[in-house]
Amino acid sequence: MFKFSIVIITMDKNDRQAAVRRQKKNAKNNAKRKAKPERLKTLELGQSFESRTGYSKQLVRSCPTGPAWRTENLFDAGIGQVIATRILPDNLIMVASILLDAWCLGAKNAFIYIPTPIDLETCIADYNDALKLLEIEPSGAVKLVTQAVEHAAGPGLKPHLDYADAKIVMQGIDTVGCNETFVFGKRRL
């Protein structure tokens, strides 16, 4: 036969108050997380650019360019990140992030998002820790991405579907000012 024991654990008043405070704090943090504005999340597909971002394509194209970066060893590794930005009228920044395959596939992945300036700093710092980013001229970022996509189009490879949105962030940036030459395809030793 089995014997069962029931143990009743009681909390004193201070422990109960601490538990209630902890629950309230957790509930408050969860509510904050859920209440973030939609524009701070990665933008969803299935809706128009304007309804997803809150900005028209024409407005984004007319905004001043912000900083741009690329992965330092993009051509050695064959794959890396290119990030271009536009400074929106309300001092937010629209970011186009493109995963670029410089050896063959061109734009493997792309997305846009609108972080707060602090979130962007954190994101770039995290990228830099993992990938070692180089800050480049916006014209260089556009030239690099455009030429990689054109290189991939040679054998009939198309860029990622979300590249169309990322391209809006880069449109209107003149690449004539970029003197850098990019060589695509795998280098043979």
What tens digit of pLDDT does each residue of 25-47 get?
777 776 766 655 444 444 455 67
DSSP string, the chain: ------------HHHHHHHHHHHHHHHHHHHHHHTS-GGGSPPPSSS-HHHHHSS-HHHHHHSPB--EEEETTHHHHSEEEEEEEEE-TTS-EEEEEEEEETTTTEEEEEEEE---HHHHHHHHHHHHHHH-EEEE-HHHHHHHHHHHHHHHHTTTPPPPTTHHHHHHHHTT---TT-------SPPP-
Distance CA 10, CA 180 (A): 72
Quote the pTM value.
0.72
At 159, the pLDDT band (50, 70, 90 cuts) reads very high
| Residues contacting residue 74 through CB under 8 Å, at least 6 positions apart | 80, 82, 100, 102
Mean pLDDT across the chain: 83
Q: What does the domain layout of the chain look like in residue ranges? A: 49-170
What confidence score (pLDDT) does residue 35 get?
57
